[in-house]
Structure formats: structure tokens, C-alpha cells
Amino acid sequence: MRRKISCVSSLTQFCGLYNGGMTDRDFTSWATFWAALTAVLASLLLALGFAPARAAEAPLAIIVFDGSASMWGPLVPEKNASEKNASEKKSKLALAREGVRAGLDKAGLDKAGFDKTGPDNASAALRLGLVSFGHRRGGDCSDVEVQVKPASGTAARITGILDAYNPRGRGPITQALRLAAKELAADAQPASIILIHDDPDNCQADPCAALPDLQKANPRVVVHVVSLAMKREDAQRMSCLTRPTGGTLTEANDAQQTSAAILAALKRAGGGAADAVLAAPAAPGQLPVVPAGKTGLLLQAKLSADGAAITLPLRWRVRAAGQPGASPLHESDAVTATVELAAGQYDVEAQYGFVVARSTEEVRAGQFSPVTIALAAGSVQLLDAAIQGTLFRDAIMTFTRTEPSPETVSMLRGLVSEIGLSPGNYRMGITAGPQRIERAISVKLGERQVLEPPLAIGELDLELVAAVSGAALEGATTTMYEDDPDAPKGRREIARSSASRPIFALLAGTYYGVVRIGSAEVRERFVIRGNERTERRLVLDVARVSVVARPAVRLDEAAPVILKLQSADDSKPALISRRTQAVFDVPAGRYKLEARIGDGNASVERDLDLKAGAREQIALEVPAGTLKLRWVDAAGMSLPDVAWEIRDRGGRIVWSAIASDAVPLLLQGRYTVKAESRKRRLTRDIEVRAGEVRSVELSGQ
């Protein structure tokens, strides 16, 4: 017996099977039946508004790639390069590019992203993007660009772009990171930034200042930094990006380190296990899991045998036993380190801040030996790690043991968020220019403590402009003052900058800033709060006037020149230059501009109405000529000590001197020349023409 059922659109497939003449026994297999029924139920759920759950989007990663001109340089200086290692002679660009290509390939990235599975690969797809800087224009600190928006299947496109790279510009790292932050915004999935660079930011900015932008865009962001052949102190400053986010910082000095660091960052970004040497532990005090059958050491450190585990990167060095002067077989900055080694004995060194601990360990074939080093130290958190590195970049930090007698035990340049020291009482000092901070600290064995009171330091970021709608103001000087009853006028200068966008690191408090350029200035009061960044835009309402005086006649080198810019109401002192060319920066307003040449009447004036942000270029033509006057006796000899006086047509004296020969520079026009010598007097009318050098010989009584 066969029954008909009523069909609706969502059940068409099943109805068609059943009503089309099939009976119950006509279903040849339960598989066919359940497949049809599953399709029906799915259609029905959709029709009723029950959509299936969406799979979570893949993790997101952005490569921030250095396209500055210095990337053409070799990774290893030529004098240090090995003849056997051809890769050392390659440019940093070539090695970084090869590192990206190798990393993408080994990590299993193709059109689908991470699509391989296994212990060394991620199982989820990775949405990959590319931000470049300094790659298009020379000397342009705004040269940043999103070349590939994060998406799956972009690996081939990214390597193709890098293959065509032609580095030429500067290194605006900070601006590139902030641009990358915009690509992270409103994305709930884990995100990673992989910065590959070879120098600090050379655009008067600090990359550490971009961290708040990245974390605001995606609180789960992890930053990995690969620094190519950089000075150690410059590379370590980038830890302000990696430490707070749980990322890795690699100082790559050869091709292998470069590709390994990029591969590790890509694997971690995709959710896979990074190479063991660069891996951080899953939790403080836990060692990472390593594949079975390999040989080496698993390294971690504690402040003391019973103390807290170290949660910040240490510097690990491993050498063959008994060879303290040999180059390390392994050297890295990591919380824990997994080092693959041949069987044998090795000297392990862990450095945390100013504490160094060493031990000799034996490696047995076929196993990884866990090693925990007790540092016999304590640690002090000095400031919020999120702002570490953005402040007091060139400050000098000292730690002086106060008991039993004062002794400076350590000194370093720049701030760190946390420091390891031997137990004891210390006086910590931080000096940055005229600013000095001192704190007493006590370091206890095995304890990790926070400095009390903490260093409440904030940043002041000033944007200086000539007008409300004007461009950045170049050439201004910004000076910061704080109240000091013992200083002249009650205020003491603590910092100064001539940058167009000055950034100051200051203790929390009230400060007074003065920005000056030419005769223009603006004064502001600022309240700085600890661990906060204050951004202000200061408008000076200033105009710039470039002036050149052009006399119609060639000047004698000794001829005095005065360029003078005076406010129309004489309310401010005049600006004066004693050259034929000058640049004046003045507040907007009305002015009188004068060019005077020589000690006669060779001068011209012009009235100016200067608007805020204006850039005027003015040439003042001085229509003057030169007279060469000489009074001779009957024998043709010049009379000595002649008193010369020249008057214009209005009778005003425009030039006078006592000399045997006179060489006045005068405006074009007609003049009366009077000469007097030993009771003899002489008067002549003379015309001066612009650009003319005229010799006049006078004789008679």
C-alpha cells in the first residue's frame, strides 16, 4: 500500500522520492533514506528560521614589512662575512623575502591558508595581510600602505609583491603599526602582527607608542618582531611590543634565524605549535611539550629554588662544557627555551636583568632533559609593561646597593618594565636630561614585587601647526617647565625639543609648555597622568616670510645690509637680519618690511598683511647706484680729510663722511654734493642712476 503526503517547497526532495511511486520496501538501503531525511530536516529548519551555527572565522595575521632604503644593506658587514656562507653577502631584503617565502611554504600556506594538519602545522585557515612602509618614496615619513588586506589564500600574492620590492624610503614603523591596527579593528578572532625590520623608526616616533592602538583594535593581538642585524640595544627596545602581548622578539643575524623566526611567528599566528626554540610555555612554570625521540635541553628559570617562575624572557646561552670563551651553540631571548643538541655535556647560562646563573648539564641521546635554574634573585616591576619602551628612551637607569656601603651595581640606557637583582636594598635612579627620579627599593629572594610607589609616567604628544588648517610647523622649539621654588622665576626647564611633533615622557603632574618660532610663541599648561598618553594640537597662527634684497649694483663686501620686519603698530620688537636673505616667522598681522644697504639712503619698504599659515616669498629690488667721489688739487692729487655731505632734493642729508675719497651707495635720483677741506668749499649737483657706478672728480675752490 502506498500513501500520498502533502508537499511544501522545503520538503520537495523527500516528497518526490515518496510520492513518485516508491514504497517503504523500495528504499534499497538505510543510507539512502537517512541521506534524504537529513536533507529534508535541514531544509525545514532553514524554513523555520533556524540557521546552522557559523564556523568561527580563521585567525588573522598581518606582516608589516620594512621597505626602507637600508634593507639593501647586507645582513652581515662585508668585513665579517664568511667566504663559505654566500647567504651572508645577500641583502637584508633578499633574506627577509626568502624567509617569508620559506615560512609560508613550511607552514603549509597555500590558496586555502593553513590547510595541512600535523604536529608542525595549524589546522585552521589563516587570514594573512601585508602592510609595507618606506617602499615607494624617498624621505617620506607618510609612506605606509596596506598592500594586501587580510584574507585566506593571499600567500602567493604577498610573495609576488615582495619579489617586486624596491626599497627607497625612510622607516615609519610606528605609523605602519597604527595602519595595521585599523585592519584589526572590529575583529573578534585572535590576531597577530609580524614586524620584519632592520632599524629603529627614523621618523621621530616610537613604535612602542603604537601598542595601545593595536590592543584597542584587538585586545587579543600578539606582536612578533624579527629584527635584522640590529644593534642589540635597539632591537631589545622592541620588546615593549612583544612582552605585553606574549609575542616573540628575534634578533636575526643570519638566513637560518630569519626564516626560523618568521616560520615560528606564522605557526603561532595560525594556532599551531611554533618551533621549540622560540616557543613560550603554555603557563608560567610549565615547560613546552617536545616531539619524542629528539635530544636536547628544556630550559626554564626560577627566582629561587622555592621562588616564583620567571614569566618574562631571559637571555639563554648554551656552550660546550668547559669552553667559556667560545661562541654559544644556542642564544635566544625566551621565557623557556627548547634546545636541540647532540649528546654530551653543556654549560647553560641564564641572564635575567643583572643576575646571571650558570650550570653544567648532561644531555643523553634520545631524550630532552628538563633543567630548572635557580637565579638566587628577586625581581621588581618598575612600571606598566604596556608602556615599557615608550618612555625615557635615552634615560640612564642606575641601581646602587645601599648596604653595607653605597655601591653602584648596574647601569643601563633606557627603561625596562621589570628588573632582576640580587637580594638587598637599592637606590634606583633614572636620569633623562635635567629630570631625575629616585626611588628606594628592596629586593627579596625569590619574590616578584611591584615598585611602591609606582613610576607614574605619562606621554605628551604635541602636534604643532602654523594655522588651524595648516601643515606641520617646522623649525619651532618646544620647552617644558615645571614648578620649582628654587629656580629663577619659579620654574625649571626639564625638557626641550625642536621636532615638528615633539613627544615628551613626564612624571605625572602639571607642566608648562612654551613653543617658539621667530617672534611667535604659544604657552600651554598640561596635566600629565601616569600610564596615559595626552595628545594636543597647538596652533601658533604664524606666518613665514622669506626675503631677499636685490641691489641694482654689485655690493662691496664691507657694505652693511639690514633686513628689518617690524609690526605695523610697533607693539613688538623688530626682527633684524644682517644678510641679503632672511626667513622670518611671525604671528599673523600687519607688518612693515624694510631692506637697507650701505650707510646711505639705499633702502626700500613694503607693507605686508600676513595671514596665519601663509608662506610669503618676497624680493625687494633696491634701485641704487654708486658714486666714487674725489677732490683733487692742481697737481691731480686727492685732498686729504675732506668733509663730504650729500643732500637729496628735499634738502635732507642722506650721507656724510670725512675721507679723501668717498664711495656712497645712493638711491637713484638727483643730489647735491658738498665738500669742505681747509677752508675751501665745493658744491656740485649730481645724478645717480640705478645700477650705475659713476666716478666723479672734483676740482677748484
Please tell me the distance from the alpha carbon of residue 342 to that of residue 346, in angstroms, as a whole number.
10
Strands, E assignment, 303-423: 314-320, 330-334, 337-340, 344-352, 355-363, 368-374, 378-381, 396-401, 407-413, 418-421
C-alpha cell at 363: 644531555
Instruction: Name the CATH topology of 624-698.
Output: Immunoglobulin-like (2.60.40)
CB neighbourhood size of 1 (10 A): 4
Task: Say if residue 40's pLDDT is above 90.
Answer: no
Is CATH 3.40.50.410 what the domain over 60-274 is classified as, yes or no?
yes
Strand arrangement of the beta sheet that strand 603-610 belongs to: 575-577, 561-567, 589-597, 603-610
The whole-number average pLDDT for the span 56-83 is: 76
Nearest to 230 by CA among 180, 278, 195, 264: 195
Question: What are the helix and strand counts (H, E) for the chain?
Answer: 9, 44
The whole-number average pLDDT for the span 267-286 is: 48
Going by their DSSP bridges, the two strands 378-381 and 448-450 should be labelled as parallel
Domain with CATH 2.60.40.10 in the chain: 296-376, 624-698
Is CATH 3.30.70.260 what the domain over 296-376 is classified as, yes or no?
no
Task: Say if residue 470's pLDDT is above 80.
Answer: no
Q: Cα-Cα-Cα-Cα dihedral of 235, 236, 241, 244, to 10°? A: 160
Going by their DSSP bridges, the two strands 680-688 and 669-677 should be labelled as antiparallel
Task: Say if residue 700's pLDDT is above 60.
Answer: yes
Q: What's the Cα-to-Cα distance from 604 to each of 392, 584, 591, 594, 616, rounded to whole Å?
A: 51, 18, 14, 6, 18
Look up residue 541 and give its amino acid.
D
pLDDT at residue 282, rounded to an integer: 38
Burial of 242 (0-12, 13-18, 19+ CB in 10 A): buried
Look up residue 684 and give its amino acid.
R
Tell me the pLDDT tens digit for each residue of 558-586.
789 999 999 998 888 899 999 999 999 99
Tell me the pLDDT tens digit for each residue of 329-353.
988 877 888 888 999 999 999 998 8
Tell me the pLDDT tens digit for each residue of 157-178.
999 899 888 888 889 999 999 9
Tell me the pLDDT tens digit for each residue of 395-448.
788 888 887 677 777 777 666 767 888 898 988 888 766 567 778 888 899 888
Is the peptide bond preceding residue 404 cis, with omega within 30 degrees of 0? yes
Task: Say if residue 391's pLDDT is above 80.
Answer: no
Please tell me the distance from the alpha carbon of residue 502 to that of residue 91, in angstroms, as a whole number.
34
- How many residues would you count in the chain? 701
Tell me the pLDDT tens digit for each residue of 652-695.
999 999 998 999 999 999 999 999 988 788 899 999 999 999 99
Tell me the pLDDT tens digit for each residue of 501-532.
888 878 788 999 999 998 899 999 999 887 78
Superfamily per CATH, domain 379-450: Carboxypeptidase-like, regulatory domain (2.60.40.1120)
Is the peptide bond preceding residue 454 cis, with omega within 30 degrees of 0? no
Burial 401-430 (b: 16+ CB within 10 A, else e): beeeeeeeebebebbbbbbbbbebebebbb
Share of the chain above pLDDT 90, in %: 32
The whole-number average pLDDT for the span 288-312 is: 79
Q: What's the Cα-to-Cα distance from 525 to each of 338, 465, 478, 496, 515, rounded to whole Å?
A: 53, 18, 13, 15, 12
638, 661 contact by CB (below 8 A): yes
pLDDT at residue 156, rounded to an integer: 87
Which of 284-293, 563-572, 586-595 has the lowest average pLDDT? 284-293
pLDDT at residue 465, rounded to an integer: 92
Domain with CATH 3.40.50.410 in the chain: 60-274
Strands, E assignment, 241-320: 249-252, 296-302, 314-320
Nearest to 391 by CA among 531, 547, 496: 531
* Residue 180 backbone zone (phi > 0: left; psi -120 to 50: alpha; other: beta): alpha
CATH of domain 457-529: 2.60.40
C-alpha cell at 635: 697737481
The whole-number average pLDDT for the span 484-504 is: 85
Give me the sign of the Cα torsion angle 401, 406, 408, 409.
negative
Nearest to 93 by CA among 180, 236, 198: 198
Task: Say if residue 10's pLDDT is above 80.
Answer: no
447, 303 contact by CB (below 8 A): yes
pLDDT at residue 427, rounded to an integer: 87
Q: Which has more pLDDT, 191 or 277?
A: 191
Look up residue 270 and give its amino acid.
G
423, 399 contact by CB (below 8 A): no
Instruction: Name the CATH topology of 542-622.
Output: Immunoglobulin-like (2.60.40)
The answer for residues whose C-beta is within 8 angstroms of residue 15's C-beta and 6 or more apart is 5, 7
546, 618 contact by CB (below 8 A): yes
Nearest 5 degrees, angle CA 3-CA 5-CA 9? 155
Task: Say if residue 185's pLDDT is above 80.
Answer: no
Please tell me the distance from the alpha carbon of residue 250 to that of residue 244, in angstroms, as a whole number.
16
Domain with CATH 2.60.40.1120 in the chain: 379-450, 542-622
* Strand, helix or coil for residue 257: helix
Please tell me the distance from the alpha carbon of residue 681 to that of residue 701, in angstroms, as a whole number.
6
Phi, psi of 129 (to 5 degrees): -130, 175
Average pLDDT, the chain: 80
97, 166 contact by CB (below 8 A): no
